[in-house]
Structure 1
Amino acid sequence: MTTTWFITGTSSGLGRLLTENLLARGDRVAATLRRPEALDDLRAAHGDRLWTARLDVTDTERVRRVVGEAFAALGTVDVVVNNAGYGVLASVEEASDEQIRRVVDTNLLGSIQVIRAALPHLRAQSRGRILQVSTAGGQTTYPGLGYYHASKWGIEGFCETVAREIAPFGLALTIVEPGATPTGFGASLDVAPPLPAYENTPAAATRQAFLSGRFPVPNSAERLTGAMIDLVDSGATPLRLPLGPDTYADVRTALTGRLAEHEAHRDVAHSVAATATR
């Protein structure tokens, strides 16, 4: 059966690869990106199974218009993939106000507005699901990526809430958490000018790992997009899907560490209850 997908950020990386693989197997794709001409080759090869539109997810009015046009043109959308993203490599002091706004506007507010625009259409058709592309950095952190983490932790909290709110309508949302993958993300990072004070610090080490190409990228982009497609095909609707041995290990370490710290404060937590005895 043909599945219809709406995907943001399809000019390169996971968005482009996912679009290619879906079209190759006969699905329909509404692909949005800032430069639609980047998909001219796919349009020539796949005809009307590929619908494209110019979209910058930081433009809320255009998000609403493009989402509505996609549903109208295709009749139905089975899967909405929030994939567009932006990263800035900087310590918290080094980033400019413009860089901070862009990462939050793209990864957090842009993703929120795509979901808000799609939900009335999904509810009207009484079926559908959302895949929110996050990262291992939605549950763990690396120095030098603080603003990226702020946006990804924020969208994960938002999506947990959305998943619970839309379940009564027969809709589902899964947060997809890819690990480091050779998609060009590292090369596309916006890098802030370094401050001398941060030399020989963890933030500087992260910067050097990315800029030198030494940051480990253990995952296959082809297998990662395949796992996303397999998830949809299976009908399973987990809240989160960790993808990559690095994601699994890093998130597990973060979660067990937080749980241990949480348990260490059990007594003080209970001590402030109104019924506590001293």
Structure 2
Amino acid sequence: MTQHTPVQDPATRPEVSGLYGGKRSRRTTVRDIAKAKARGEKWPMLTAYDAMTASVFDEAGIPVMLVGDSAGNAHLGFDSTVPVTLDHMVMLAAAVVRGTRQALIVGDLPFGSYQESPAQALRSATRLVKEAGVGAVKLEGGERSADQVRTLVEAGIPVMAHVGYTPQSVHAYGGHLVQGRGEEAAQQVLRDAKAVQDAGAFAVVLELVTAEIAAEATRSLHIPTIGIGAGPDCDAQVLVWTDMAGMTDWPGDRTPRFVKQYARLREVLGDAARAFAEDVVGGAYPAEEHSFHRRPAQG
């Protein structure tokens, strides 16, 4: 397992001046993210789907958390993000908001909740803001989604865009394919990123994009780029937390090339479950210290 430098106790960290590295007395905002871009500061983002996990990441100082529709694969047992509903996202996002105090929480708009029209996008985003309490929403698509982005921003809802490989379109792609390898494909990624910036997005996720195109987009945009499988030059990096922590069970151990596992949490939980089961079967749990007894009768 990779060795890592111990993380400083959050309680002893100084008040944060950048996006990561200290404690914050308020939530991260889109203005903080814009300032980080101006400083040339890199920052981390993780997904989260429940209050307890989100609280761990919040204590670790993760400044932005995405309640992604990746919950379909990582949390709800679906084989893609497509079946995820807006009701799912509202419930999960509300839990993450309740479990955090410092991070900006971004809620994903799932497939079918915004593609119909800007008006539909506004209704869906409003639910995430009002019912779940998120500070921003994310939607997929570049030029094709620019009108939706513009409508939400004009209504006062911050938007994180998502271009390159867009998982909600997995059936159209026919697989998880890297984007931007041909000249026209590369230019389309850049046009998409520019379109969502011009529509008012405060940041853009670049997924499965060649490192060269991601670097060009990062240089040319004034909003931050957030990479996932997009090389090292983006302003920020995001991973699905179950991938990052070694919880995902990839078929045939086919871990995606861009994923780095920082723990082996699946093994840890499996060992704990087996140890518990063996204690129960063997009669070692519960022991006396885990048991309650009646109080003696009063004479």
TM-score, normalisation: structure 1? 0.34
Bigger helix share = 1
| Greater RCO, 1 or 2 (C-alpha within 8 Å, sep 6+) | 1
TM-score, normalisation: structure 2? 0.32
Larger radius of gyration, structure 1 or 2? 2
